[in-house]
Structure 1
């Protein structure tokens, strides 16, 4: 291979000696290292070599494959942490997202760990649908050679808690694989289950994999740099603006929040999410203490940490959502046959209705029971951060991050109920601080080629990331066209960011805007109806290379939009149902059909 003219003659021999005989993985690492050096010099910084860890040679060690499926990034984070722990011990490991896993390789795997989040009530995350369908199909191979372990992430306020991971675990056993340890089922306090599960998985990996005595310098894996602001160590940011953006008379209370990142060194990309740690409402804490006749000043020690009961409830325990484990514990204390009946298979529908429409305080009042402070805290789920799609581009707002927030509120027996974090944020006063961190969402990214068209479908607060998309594309002077579908109940009160969209249309940064205000006419009209009205153009854009994005409610909207896309493929592409589904699956596999649904 001839060296380029801009490479000095004196360096030719050195480059040849350096690269001679290296494996492709080592060459890829060198490529990334030299790119980092170039970037550092261009920015005036000296680039240091990334920290490396040795990995055993493939020909002398068996391999552990870790497959993860993640909707919001939690499963990805857990899988990455496990991968690093395995690699640090010199074991051969690869980490792969479920939609990037070549299913033909499954028949040859000998050691497989799966980390899978749950979407909605027991469904797989978007990036794992094809993988799960393959496992459940007749094409899935027998796996007598495979040893495996499964970790599920879910939310026990849903009836089918970690349902998809449980079914994957059972299916692998059905195919003849050997289960190394019981499937883990992590609630929103993920580490409580994930860390012990990882410890066990690491022990099995040590036994199953061969280790080399000497690390090979030709096969190294860079460690991910550790961020200074993390989920566990959030940045306390100042709230700059808390502005209602729904009109007087709207049934919704939607806010636009602007938050300062000054001093945080936080960076984000359009499509990422902002994590927020809430503080429970003082009024709600007082209600819980009163109904249980407990003293908020009583000190309780848990896990080596000592706090008052009031402080535990304000900042460290979930009070607005009910979980099955708590219901089971409360039913035993209350001695309630009615509550116990809800936890049986025959009570599934009634349980679902309870979980969706009632909160902890309602259960405590409906089925009185005696709790000690320590027992209560051990039974309640730890408070966890909530994730919000970022509604701004850092290319435009610089050291700020913007959110589009719906304040979740309703009444039960004439008394207000609310969502913990939306209530916390809605009641923050400008100038107050809130604990935040950034969660990457690499599956919800603008196309690398900015000449590609994009189609954005985001009713309600699902429009948030598309505000960021349009800002970013405008700042980059992207050549591709931008098409937005937006819907809400009423034009006059619920047209979020109306002025911004009008300016974007005028300035050529938004090329098409289709609106669906569902209650402004007798017959309800939603975004999927507008999509069908524009079916020919939509199909033409997609066939022309456009990227398609959906953000918002997973329960109804996302499913209705998906069905509309299938119908468009059948109608405009002259496909049958099977081909239409394969067409959408292929778009997703290409990264051209991405969803951020919740």
Structure 2
């Protein structure tokens, strides 16, 4: 039956062309054309008018905003990858840090995706603080027209697992927004659940009409470099040096690795991830405790890859940390009631898990049912350890340097150690290789203008990124002033990279340096005390546009430094406490106060 102008949306010329074409097409050609037209309609650019058919509904908006809150760069990386995937599927995507997003624009959005990590004890990342405060405040608008979904990153060994993501998810619902897809709470091994979350979001955004059979079983991201977090590069150890002097009660390893042939690049402020191996002594103790066969073949992933049990416990699974999900799964494998009873006593459970590992769990409870494979199935993958990069690629082509403090302690009658730090301090030798990947951190970067003054506060291994800053500035001939606050225990044994800092100071690359060695004086002195001693000049630097960088322990040092900055603003700037806090918040918003804390 020929098309008529009167019974179709086509004009006379279009109808004539279609009437000439359609009779000549075979059934398979017509089927292909129908699929092609559906696909091109699905991928129409944002803003293109879609004619509404009689009785039908207009297509949903193609505009998607992705906001990220990220401390180390993981959430940011996932947000950017998700944005690229959505663009490949025809959506118009805006990806932004929460700190760069104008909260008042929320009510204009139709589709919002949030990727956010939880920092410290359930806190938002630094670049999510302002947005989090706005959304949970009285000024937050009603959002009945908004569709959203939250991808939440965390670590299940912390009590407040994925707390920030949970708070964003529930608050958006309170404000009237509707979920595109359920919130996904990701543990340290986040790649697969994040991909599944995006697949669900994409399906909802495209709508049921766009669903058709596909051979793609999971979301993949294009444009990634060859070596990534999921495909690490095996870097050769070039040099391993203990930076602490004889007699020190600390051991800090300066590690130099080769990136030759990897194609990996980094900027000062980025981190290097290392996939470590567990201590062979601990692996042996677990195998002996369970009377397992170390040569038994076991599966190590969903793809069915196999290894010997000993190799799997050494290279693939986390055995040094207890989490509530692990204990819950373990309770199903024991014939006794004690572990189930412990799970019912929340405070006792938290106390038990702190400082204990898998060997403790296997020793303290039982009898254990199931096989070695059953136990492996409830363990997390061994996570990468992130270390602030201590070198500039400009100054050290094809190399990356790290500063790693050895962790050793006694707990519950047994010696314990940091998985990666002791691997680097004791077992890695020049010529060995180790799997690594670069973790970009856009929240801790040198200013583009080399004339901008910078203030660096980094005690202990927090000195690492500032070594990279100085190497970079020296290579590029940056003219801006720079001021270092460094602290450790003893001047003689613990002044990390002392000769380098003194040379930079002599050559004028570093303008000013103040140090605090806490065990060299009767009264302990820390970097925040040196800051207060120089409060007037420090305030003048800040007023002149200096960027303040803090690197190191968040719970103690970074907290004290933050409060000291507020105290200096109150004292020297004659501000009220609320004004000083607002000033600091504005500095964070402007990226003039950046922290790399852990």
Q: Does TM, scored on the shorter chain, surpass 0.5? A: yes
Q: What SS class does the counterpart of residue 374 from structure 1 fall into?
A: helix
Partner of 1:38: none
* C-alpha distance after superposition, 1:2-45 (max 9, x if no partner): xxxxxxxxxxxxxxxxxxxxxxxxxxxxxxxxxxxxxxxxxxxx
In the TM superposition, 1:29-428 aligns within 5 A as: 56-58=45-47, 60=49, 61-207=61-207, 225-301=223-299, 302-303=301-302, 304-334=304-334, 339-340=339-340, 343-344=343-344, 347-348=346-347, 350-370=348-368, 371-426=370-425, 427-428=427-428
Q: C-alpha separation between the residues in 1 aligned to 2:495 and 2:349?
A: 36
Q: Which residue of 2 aligns with 1:9?
A: none
- Describe the shift of the 1:331–1:272 C-alpha distance in structure 2 as closer, same or farther (beyond 3 A): same
The answer as to whether partners of 1:158 and 1:355 remain within 8 angstroms in 2 is no
Q: CA RMSD in A?
A: 2.2
Cα distance in 2 for partners of 1:84, 1:73 equals 17
* Separation of aligned partners in 2, 1:340 and 1:399: 52
Larger Rg: 2
Structure 1 residues 294, 468: closer, same or farther in 2, change over 3 A?
Answer: same
1:155-192 CA distance string (max 9 Å, x none): 01111111111111111111111123322110011124
Equivalent-residue separation in structure 1 for 2:447 and 2:44 (angstroms):
33
The gaps in structure 2 that reach 5 residues or longer are: 1-42, 50-60, 212-220
Structure-1-length-normalised TM-score:
0.85
1:296-320 CA deviation, whole Å, 9 max, x = no partner?
A: 2222234122222222211111111
Helix, strand or coil for the counterpart of 1:396? Answer: coil
Residue pair 1:316, 1:383 contacting (<8 A) in 2 also: yes
Q: Deviations over 1:298-352 (max 9, x none)?
A: 22234122222222211111111111111112234446666446545x634x444
In 1, the alpha carbon distance for the partners of 2:346 and 2:335 equals 17
When normalised by structure 2's length, the TM-score is: 0.85
Measured after TM superposition, the shift of residue 210 of structure 1 is 10
Measured against aligned partners, the alpha-carbon deviations of 1:82-119 in whole angstroms (never above 9, x if no partner) come to 21221111122211111111101111222111111111
Matching residue of 1:494 = 494
**CA shift at 1:401, angstroms?**
0.8
Judged with a 3 Å threshold, the aligned counterparts in structure 2 of structure 1 residues 433 and 107 are, in CA distance, closer, same or farther, namely same
Q: Which moved more, 1:494-503 or 1:544-553?
A: 494-503
| Cα distance, 1:390 vs structure 2 | 0.4
Contact 2:273 2:387 in 1 (8 A): yes
2 CA distance for matches of 1:143 and 1:224? Answer: 33
Deviation string for 1:135-171 (max 9, x for gaps)?
A: 1111111111111111110001111111111111111
1:10 corresponds to: none
Give the distance between the partners of 1:153 and 1:196, measured in 2 at CA: 14
Offset at 1:402?
A: 0.6
Change (3 A) 1:243 1:89: same
Change in 2 beyond 3 A, CA 1:459/1:369: farther
Taking structure 1 as reference, are residues 507 and 337 closer, same or farther at Cα in structure 2, changes over 3 Å only?
A: farther
**Who is 2:4 aligned against?**
none
Q: 2: CA distance between counterparts of 1:369 and 1:134?
A: 52
Q: 1:513 corresponds to which residue?
A: 513
Whether contact under 8 Å (1:55, 1:92) holds in the other structure is no
Q: Deviations over 1:434-466 (max 9, x none)?
A: 111211111211111111110000011011000
Cα displacement string for residues 559-579 of structure 1 (whole angstroms, at most 9, x for unaligned residues): 111111111111111111221
| Aligned counterpart, 1:18 | none
In the alignment of these two chains, the number of paired residues is 533
Q: Which residue of the partner structure matches residue 28 of structure 1?
A: none
Instruction: Say whether the 8 Å CA contact 1:91–1:209 is kept in structure 2.
Output: no
Per the TM alignment, residue 81 of structure 1 is displaced from its structure 2 partner at its CA by 2.1
In 1: Cα distance, 2:528 partner to 2:342 partner: 36
1:7 aligns with none
User: Shift of residue 411 of structure 1?
Assistant: 2.1
Q: Distance in 1 between matches of 2:499 and 2:210?
A: 62
Residues 1:450 and 2:439 are matched in the alignment: no
Give the whole-Å Cα distance in 1 for the aligned partners of 2:558 and 2:418.
Answer: 22
**Shift in Å at residue 413 of structure 1?**
4.5
Distance change >3 Å, CA 298–CA 515, structure 1 → 2: same
Contact 1:458–1:486 (Cα < 8 Å) also in 2: yes
Report the 3-state secondary structure (helix = DSSP H, G, I; strand = E; otherwise coil) of the residue aligned with 1:379. Answer: coil
**For residues 569 and 55 of structure 1, do their structure 2 counterparts lie closer, same or farther at Cα, with a shift above 3 Å needed?**
farther
Tell me the distance in 2 between the aligned counterparts of 1:342 and 1:149.
Answer: 35
Partner of 1:19: none
SS of match in other structure, 1:148: strand
1:530-573 deviations in Å (ceiling 9; x for gaps): 11111111111011011110011111111111111111111111
Deviates more, 1:288-297 or 1:139-148: 288-297
My pick for the range that moved more, 120-129 or 298-307, is 298-307
Which residue does the alignment assign to 2:40? none
Report the Cα distance in structure 2 between the residues aligned to 1:485 and 1:201, rounded to whole angstroms: 46
Call closer, same or farther: CA 1:99–1:355 in 2, change over 3 Å: farther
Structure 2 vs 1, CA of residues 247 and 368 (structure 1 numbering), >3 Å: closer, same or farther?
farther
Deviation at 1:407, TM superposition (A): 1.4
Question: Per the alignment, in what secondary structure is the counterpart of residue 82 of structure 2?
Answer: helix
Describe the superposition over 1:334-388 as per-residue Cα deviations: whole angstroms up to 9, x where unpaired: 46666446545x634x444444422222222222341422221111001121111
Q: Give unmatched runs, 5+ long, in structure 1.
A: 1-53, 212-222
- Cα 1:82–1:340 shift into 2, 3 Å: same
Superposed CA deviations along residues 404-455 of structure 1, whole A, max 9, x for unmatched, are: 0011121235532112221222220111111112111112111111111100
